[in-house]
Amino acid sequence: MSGMSRRGFLLAAAGAAAATALTPPKRRLLQMNGYPLDAETPLELLGETYITPNDLFFIRHHWNPIFPDARTWKLTVDGEVERPLALSLADLKAMPQSSVTCVLQCAGNGRSLHRPIVPGVQWKYGAVGNAKWTGVRVRDLLDKAGLKAGAKHLHTFGTDAPPEKVPPFHRSVEMEKILRDGIVALTMNGAPLPQLHGGPARLVVPGWAGDHWMKWLARVSPQAEPQTGFYMDTAYRYPKTPGAAGVTFKPEEMTPVTELFVKSNITSPPAQARVGKKATIRGIAFSGAPDVSKVEVSDDFGMNWTEATLGKDHDPFAWRLWYHDFVPKAAGKTTLVARATDSSGSVQPREAVWNQSGYLFNAWPSVEIEVVA
C-alpha cells in the first residue's frame, strides 16, 4: 500500500464514518477492534434467522492472522498415530463429509456486562452465531492416521503466530469430546470457509466455547497429556467454585472453559406496546447441552413465568429461536426478563458467575417496554 493510498484511505474512512453516524446501516457488524479484527453481530440481527449469514457472523482474531494459501495448505496429523499424515484441501474434500449446525460463541461474549468490570474485548451480546459447518469428522481423520490408545487430548495448532513475546495460541481438546462431535470444517453455510473465520479449515467443537475451535488449522496431534502454556494454564479458565464478585482466582482454582452455559437473549422487543393489544418479543436460546427444552418470560422479575414458543428449526447444539406473545394490561413501563432451560435441566441464572476474565456471561436478559393506553 503506498503512502498516498494510505492517506486516501484515511480520508475515505473518515467520510464513511460521518455517513455511518447519520444513517447506521441495518446490516452491519460492530467492530470492536480495528486490528486484530474483532467484530460482533448487532443483537437485533441475531434473532432474525436460524442460520447466521457468514457476512454477519462475529469475527474474533487474537492477532493479525497469517491466512494460509488454500492451494498449498496442508493439514498435518502427527503425535500418537500409526501413520502421520499431511493432507491437502483436495485430500480432505475426498474424504466422507459430515455436517453439523451449531452455535459458535466466543468464551468472552457478554464480558462487558460483568460487574466488577474486567479487561479484554468488551463484547456485549453478539460474539455468537449459528451456522452449518461441513467437513471431515475428526474421528474419520484420526482413524485414517491410526490413533494410538492412550492419546487423551488432541493438540491443535493454527497458522497464526503472535507478535513479539506473546505466547502462542496452542490448545488441546479432550479426545473423548472431539472424537464424538468434532469436525474439521471446510465450509460454513455451504460456502468455502471464509478466511476471516479460519479458512481453509477450522475445528468445530459443538457445544463448547470458541477457544476450542482452532482457526486456520494447520496441525492436529493426539497426545497423552493436555497442551500447556498461557492459553491453557492461565487464560480460558473458569472458577471451579463460584466466589464473591471481584475476587481473583488462582489458575489452579479454576478449570478450563468447555461447555457453553445455558443462555437466552431477547433480540427484538416491540418498539412500543399498547394496552389490550398483542405484542411479541423474540429471541435466541442455546446451551452446551444438546438442546434447549424451554424458554420462559416474566413481567415481574421472575416471580411468575410464562413459557415462550420455540422455533421449529432445531439441531443438536444449535440455538433455538423463540417468541412470546403478550397482551399488556396497564399503561406505563414494564420490564420483561427471560430465562432458558436446557435438555439437561440447567436453568439460566438471574446473575452470571463473575470471573476475572469475563467468560460465559449468561444472566437473564431484560428489556424495558413502554406500554401506551
Q: Which residues of 253-284 are buried (b: 16+ CB within 10 A; e: fewer)?
A: ebebbbbbbbbbbbbbbbeebeeeeebebbbb
Give the C-alpha separation, 39 to 37, whole Å: 7
Beta bridge partners of 280: 325
The C-alpha cell of 17 is what? 464514518
Q: Is 86 in the site for another protein (CB under 8 A)?
A: no
Give the C-alpha separation, 264 to 348, whole Å: 8
**Cβ within 8 Å of residue 178, ≥6 positions away:** 138, 154, 203, 205
Q: Nearest distance from residue 80's CB to another protein, in Å?
A: 26
Q: Is 250 in the site for another protein (CB under 8 A)?
A: no
The H or E element that residue 306 is part of is strand 306-307
Q: Is 229 in the site for another protein (CB under 8 A)?
A: no
Q: Is 336 in the site for another protein (CB under 8 A)?
A: no
Counting residues that bind another protein (by CB under 8 A) gives: 54
Q: Is 49 in the site for another protein (CB under 8 A)?
A: no
Per-position x/- string for 62-81, each x denoting binding to another protein as judged by CB under 8 A, each - no binding? -xxxxxxx--xx--------
Q: Is 22 in the site for another protein (CB under 8 A)?
A: no
Q: Is 10 in the site for another protein (CB under 8 A)?
A: yes
**Residue 19 vs 347, nearer CB to another protein:** 19
Phi and psi angles of residue 39, each rounded to the nearest 5 degrees, phi first: -150, 140
Give residue for cell 473518515. 14
The single residue among 44, 196, 323, 346 that binds another protein, judged by CB under 8 A, is 196
The single residue among 98, 159, 309, 343 that binds another protein, judged by CB under 8 A, is 159
User: Interface with another protein by CB under 8 A: which residues?
Assistant: 1, 3, 6-7, 9-10, 13-14, 16-17, 20, 24-25, 27-37, 39-40, 53, 55-56, 59, 63-69, 72-73, 117-119, 121-122, 159, 161, 163-167, 194-196
